[in-house]
Structure 1
Amino acid sequence: MKKAGVLLALAGAGWASYQIHHAYQHLYNILPANAVEHEDKLPEYIYYQPKVSGRAHFDAIWLPQYVWWWNSVPSSLAWRLLDIAQNGNRKQRLKAVHSLAHLENLEESDYRQLAQACDPKTAVGLARTNGVDLRLFLKPPNYPPPAKKEDLVDCCHEMLKRLDTEEAHECVRYFVTDILPEVQERHAHYSSRINQEYLLTLCLKSLLHHSNLPNHSAEIVRMGGLKLLMDIYYHYSDSNHIVGLLGKIISNISEPSYRKQMLSSGWIGALADLLSSSSLLIKSCAGKALANMDEDELNLYSYRGGVYLLHPLFRSLSDKISCHPNADVVFVHGLLGGVFWTWRNRDQVKIEPVDERLLEELNGENSRQEVGALGFLKEFMSFGSSQKKSPVSLCDCPVRSKRLSNKSSRYLSSCFEESKLFCPIRDVTECWPVGWLAKDLPCLRVIGLNYDTHVSLWVPVCPEESLPKNLEDRSEELIQKLLQAGLGKRPIIWVAHSMGGLIVKNILVRAFESGNKELRRLSENTKGAVFFSVPHFGSHLVDFKQATKLLLLPTNEVSDLRHNSPTLLTLHERFVKCLESHPIKVLSFVESENTAVSSLKVPLRFVSAESADPGVGEFYEVPLNHLEICKPSNRRSFLYQKLLTFIDYALKSS
């Protein structure tokens, strides 16, 4: 029996060795011979093979062949995955890229050779994979060497002068001919040292204006703009302000036809690195730049200037999300606002925990806030005995409400503990649509719209920004960008603050009245709208006297916001007519406190309750000012939880 067992073991070992050897030969044969060749050669790199020490050579002589094969498996698998990623069908490519991005136990030389063999399309897919190893991307070429830091302003100025001055953006021409020479002359006259970073910022802002024009991206690429921008990134990678401007320019330039130039200049690897930046602006710019070049996405959308992709930044497969986005939530800020300013959460405040024991105490109180809070708590407590009852925040509970819906349910965050009196550190976020909404409802695409606004015509320095603009002009500009981003192909929820709500209404009305089928889908697929202090009927604050108008020179957008403006009254009539044909759910909030303006702390009420009430949907007055009304204090506050419930219910009921 012992002999038979020994013979059986030897036979099994021999069979295993044969299978291992056969598998090794099979993997070697399926590796394409031209896997490391390019149609157009990328910058060449020279690698050396390290010498094997005498001891290692001695050990290698006696190691069994299957151990050699085992060490070569990761490398062989990586090349096989790369071949599938480049030549397979779409489903195979997505899986291969995801596996290749997370492959471990590769040698340093393997990473470098894979980076050289990787085609631009696969490189973009790898960059959009969460947790990818950055060694899979080409570094910027060493030749020609980066421009010196002190020469960057001159290089930018030369490029701007070489741009087509006949068709260039008005702001580019204005900067090159007027602003920059004036600044340089002023500094030279006073014999002071020129602030290079300040001048470089001016140059990049001018180039950003130029990159916003659709037909000028090719010109910037053709003139070596990517190399110059990479040189600036090389010297100023620690400056979030400079890198943010670079990200905006690159995201405007990025499209599938420039992937090859992006790869060879090192920008795809840089964008993959910037996706992990601590700055939300930089992260968003990098995400939308890569999304603009990713043809393997289910739908290739184009995110132009002012349209920020906030979520998802990575491919769904790589971000541990089991579903592709099935709806869009669009955030639109108001006058003098911004995506990364308007939608912050408020400063960390103390949370008053409330449970059933405190409900009786509230019954005896008569203050306006606590009466409103009591109504909210009754709704909160009555929802489902099976729901976990977590503490809630009283800091932004409503003081008055209208037209409440009994059908809406409340979702409670489960990440809070009753022992915590402050918002947990993990839930303090720069931008709550990203930090909270994207986690609570991951199967959404979250988009932020950004546009420049001014209160007075004295403010802008660029001639084109001084041109008269009204709601119609602003809406037309944003509609084209929204259509390029694929809005209207899925259900839409709009979230707007102040003047942003008027823009949303104008977009929906124009889409509803349009004969263009693609544009009309913006209205037909809208399922809900959330308004934060939107002046549907204007504001008394903008009712300037004639002398004040001559001094302030308010823009057309500001003039349209005056109380009972004919423009706003007509817009609201058209909006109500649109709701009659295509009913959507509406949720409105308004401030009930004054806003302290300027250093003198002058208390002003920007939007009254009467103006903020559209006459449809649920309506809440909240004890906050105009700036705080769209900034929930924490993830379990009334403002956020109500909005979260509204979005979920509006999408499910549709």
Structure 2
Amino acid sequence: KHLPWIYTKKDNPKSLLNLARSSDQGLRCLGVKQLSKHHDWEDYQYRNIAQALDTRTMIGLARSQDVDPRFFLPMPKAPPSKVWLEDEYRTLISSLQNEDLDKCLKHFATKALQLGNNADERDSLFSFGGTGLEFAKSVSSVPEERVEIVCLQALASHSADFRCCQNIIKMGGVQLLQQTYTKRHKSIVIRRQIAKTLGNLSVHQCFHEEIIRAGWVTVLSRWISSSDLTLSLHAARTLANLDTDFVSCTYEDGVYLIHPIYREKESINADIVFVHGLLGGPFKTWRQQDRKGPGADKSSDGTESVKKGTYTFCWPKDWLAKDCGNIRILSVEYDTDLSTWNANCPFETEKRGLTVRASSILQKLKKADIGSRPIIWVGHSMGGLLIKQILSIADDTPGLDNIVNNTVGVLFYSTPHRGSSLAHLSNQASLIVAPTVEVKEMGRDSPMLRRLHKDFQQLVMEHGIPCLSFGELEKTQIRTPKLKMLIVPPESSDPGIGEFHAIKTSHLNICKPWDRDSELYTETLKFIRRCLLQGRIENILKAGMTFKDSDR
């Protein structure tokens, strides 16, 4: 056998493929890396490799940046359907129902089945996640496609349940997704929902073979480099779960890998976890501040600026990852609403409380290997309260104390430590009809918030955790132009711990820097770098090592 370094010097496809199939995990990764660098072979050489690829190598190539698409065989043709796609979805969703299924899943299924059965309703819109307005803007004008989207959203919701996943596989759900993609491959909404469903299926290794055999790795290898952030990160999550040869953790529903989405040779030294707030999202909350459009006071979505390379839809991914090396960035997703009238599911009141949400997120983050290295937490508004609750639960739970012990920094953007003006006004003056649990919990001087903050202060003092907080100084428009308020005034956003900066911006923009030179971003970056250095020092001390002169 040749020495490994000889293989890396060769341009022979077979030699590199043999290296990628090595029994040694390190050599396999080296082989995949060298294969992925080649873009100048003949078509037949790529075709030969594609036909000979084993599963591990194929997934490794799919998670390699700028890989040549000729390494992957086309997705196999899905078996032709004898009935309408919506009828197949209706049959599949019906098969997922059982007596002890989550009430919300039953609710979603009922809505999807009603929409699919009633031809008169095919022009209506029903949204599983996000507001109806956002959903309406994103769907096609074709009624048949709208029904398929609603069914796909219901399927994606069910795929978060393991028993439903088993039935989805058993009933040919992966093949049904193939048929849908073949028919609607131009629809970004459908592609996102398919990728989300595949991501949920990929959580369980027993379903990996089914996903791979259906040819989804080929499609995911394209989606991961998509300019559509949501599609890209859904694909990144799925491929990371499939890549068991390189990734030792699992990204469950609601936990997204923001960086690195590709295989990286550098080791990960710290984790940064972003938690959005009320009505926020794992991606949209962390975009750059919107630019003004040509009309007066009209905001632009930044599309033109993106084309010019001057705007980012996710500053943690595009800025922070470049400014701080050797980090992993995760973003957490959970569903929120202001009013129970608008809630996606009317039966999930008990799930919306801060403690229950925090416990669920904590368990998912534990499976994503949070706690094995230094952690920096970043929260906007209610997200900051969730972070405090997560740390409180972890501190009191045997086996989870490493999450607190490894926390080296917490960053708050307008977190209502002492309550929110919006929640207070809603509770007192019915500004919001039928406010949700999360709104009620953020009432001014809430006993629950006082207890939570007292516990957090004690935890920070005991563990010496640095904190940085930002507060808003500009009022946010509520409902009508006449009603404006500070959603979280400085007396509530200032936790009385660590540094506090009051910024002349609104509640929505407090976590959206204008650019990389803005005070918001420069202070954030400075704080994170200090925390990363502290984490590195603590790791060295824990390992019983001392600094060398060159490291000082």
Contact 1:160 1:172 in 2 (8 A): no
Contact 1:535 1:611 in 2 (8 A): yes
**Residues of 2 paired with 1:189 and 1:507: CA distance?**
42
SS in 2 for 1:153: helix
Q: What RMSD in Å do the two structures reach over aligned CA positions?
A: 2.8
**Residues of 2 paired with 1:227 and 1:437: CA distance?**
39
Of 38, 41, 56, the match for 1:103? 38
Deviation at 1:510, TM superposition (A): 1.3
Please state if 1:530 is matched with 2:411: yes
Query: Does the C-alpha gap of structure 1 residues 511 and 165 become closer, same or farther in structure 2, counting only changes over 3 Å?
Result: same
Aligned to 1:277: 226
Contact 2:271 2:327 in 1 (8 A): yes
Aligned to 1:132: 67
Please state if 1:443 is matched with 2:353: no
SS in 2 for 1:334: coil
Aligned to 1:618: 499
Of 273, 293, 314, the match for 2:262? 314
Query: Does the C-alpha gap of structure 1 residues 195 and 548 become closer, same or farther in structure 2, counting only changes over 3 Å?
Result: farther
Please state if 1:645 is matched with 2:520: no
**Residues of 1 paired with 2:147 and 2:123: CA distance?**
16
Deviation at 1:520, TM superposition (A): 0.9
Please state if 1:334 is matched with 2:271: no
Aligned to 1:166: 99
Deviation at 1:151, TM superposition (A): 2.1
**Residues of 1 paired with 2:47 and 2:236: CA distance?**
24
**Residues of 1 paired with 2:94 and 2:372: CA distance?**
42
Please state if 1:554 is matched with 2:435: yes
Moved more, 229-238 or 103-112: 103-112
Of 98, 114, 135, the match for 2:49? 114
SS in 2 for 1:552: coil
**Residues of 1 paired with 2:105 and 2:448: CA distance?**
34
Post-superposition Cα deviations, 1:242-294, rounded to whole Å, max 9, x if no partner, equal: 11111111111114433322222110011001011111111111111111111
What are the ranges of 5 or more consecutive residues in structure 1 without an aligned counterpart?
Answer: 1-22, 27-72, 318-322, 351-421
SS in 1 for 2:501: strand
Query: Does the C-alpha gap of structure 1 residues 248 and 569 become closer, same or farther in structure 2, counting only changes over 3 Å?
Result: same
Aligned to 2:458: 577
Q: Larger RCO: Structure 1 or Structure 2 (Cα < 8 Å, ≥ 6 residues apart)? A: 1
Moved more, 456-465 or 539-548: 539-548
Of 287, 297, 309, the match for 1:344? 287
Deviation at 1:102, TM superposition (A): 2.6
SS in 1 for 2:317: helix
Aligned to 1:207: 155
Aligned to 1:81: 16
Aligned to 1:32: none
Aligned to 1:302: 250
1:100 counterpart letter in structure 2: L
Query: Does the C-alpha gap of structure 1 residues 115 and 553 become closer, same or farther in structure 2, counting only changes over 3 Å?
Result: same
Query: Does the C-alpha gap of structure 1 residues 535 and 520 become closer, same or farther in structure 2, counting only changes over 3 Å?
Result: same
Contact 1:427 1:435 in 2 (8 A): no
Query: Does the C-alpha gap of structure 1 residues 583 and 473 become closer, same or farther in structure 2, counting only changes over 3 Å?
Result: same
SS in 2 for 1:313: coil
Post-superposition Cα deviations, 1:506-560, rounded to whole Å, max 9, x if no partner, equal: 111111122x12x111111000011000010112332257785597221221111
**Residues of 1 paired with 2:171 and 2:307: CA distance?**
49
1:155 counterpart letter in structure 2: E
Aligned to 2:315: 432
Aligned to 2:550: none
Contact 2:59 2:242 in 1 (8 A): yes
Alignment of 1:467-616 (within 5 A): 467=350, 469-514=352-397, 516-517=398-399, 519-544=400-425, 548=429, 552-600=433-481, 602-616=483-497
**Residues of 1 paired with 2:491 and 2:396: CA distance?**
27
Deviation at 1:502, TM superposition (A): 0.4
Alignment of 1:167-182 (within 5 A): 167-181=100-114
Post-superposition Cα deviations, 1:446-474, rounded to whole Å, max 9, x if no partner, equal: 11111101111111243443545211011
Contact 2:123 2:143 in 1 (8 A): no
Deviation at 1:435, TM superposition (A): 1.2
Contact 1:592 1:623 in 2 (8 A): yes
Contact 1:120 1:259 in 2 (8 A): no
What are the ranges of 5 or more consecutive residues in structure 2 without an aligned counterpart?
Answer: 3-9, 125-140, 294-304, 536-552
Aligned to 2:6: none
SS in 2 for 1:257: helix
Moved more, 135-144 or 122-131: 135-144
Post-superposition Cα deviations, 1:296-339, rounded to whole Å, max 9, x if no partner, equal: 22x5111111111000000013xxxxx22210111111101112
Query: Does the C-alpha gap of structure 1 residues 342 and 266 become closer, same or farther in structure 2, counting only changes over 3 Å?
Result: same
Of 261, 268, 275, the match for 1:325? 268
Contact 1:325 1:444 in 2 (8 A): yes
**Residues of 2 paired with 1:178 and 1:530: CA distance?**
40
Of 172, 187, 206, the match for 1:257? 206
Of 267, 286, 293, the match for 2:242? 293
Query: Does the C-alpha gap of structure 1 residues 542 and 105 become closer, same or farther in structure 2, counting only changes over 3 Å?
Result: closer
**Residues of 2 paired with 1:547 and 1:103: CA distance?**
65
**Residues of 1 paired with 2:448 and 2:183: CA distance?**
50
SS in 1 for 2:522: helix
Query: Does the C-alpha gap of structure 1 residues 589 and 129 become closer, same or farther in structure 2, counting only changes over 3 Å?
Result: same
**Residues of 2 paired with 1:645 and 1:582: CA distance?**
21
Query: Does the C-alpha gap of structure 1 residues 442 and 236 become closer, same or farther in structure 2, counting only changes over 3 Å?
Result: farther
SS in 1 for 2:442: coil
Query: Does the C-alpha gap of structure 1 residues 340 and 624 become closer, same or farther in structure 2, counting only changes over 3 Å?
Result: same
Number of residue-to-residue matches in the alignment? 501
SS in 1 for 2:210: helix
**Residues of 2 paired with 1:551 and 1:496: CA distance?**
24
Deviation at 1:111, TM superposition (A): 2.4
1:584 counterpart letter in structure 2: I
Aligned to 2:549: none
Query: Does the C-alpha gap of structure 1 residues 470 and 576 become closer, same or farther in structure 2, counting only changes over 3 Å?
Result: same
Deviation at 1:167, TM superposition (A): 4.6
**Residues of 2 paired with 1:180 and 1:599: CA distance?**
37
Query: Does the C-alpha gap of structure 1 residues 591 and 326 become closer, same or farther in structure 2, counting only changes over 3 Å?
Result: same
Paired-residue identity, %? 38
Post-superposition Cα deviations, 1:325-356, rounded to whole Å, max 9, x if no partner, equal: 21011111110111221111113479xxxxxx
Aligned to 2:138: none
**Residues of 1 paired with 2:14 and 2:321: CA distance?**
35
SS in 1 for 2:59: helix
SS in 1 for 2:88: helix
**How does the TM-score come out when normalised to structure 2?**
0.85
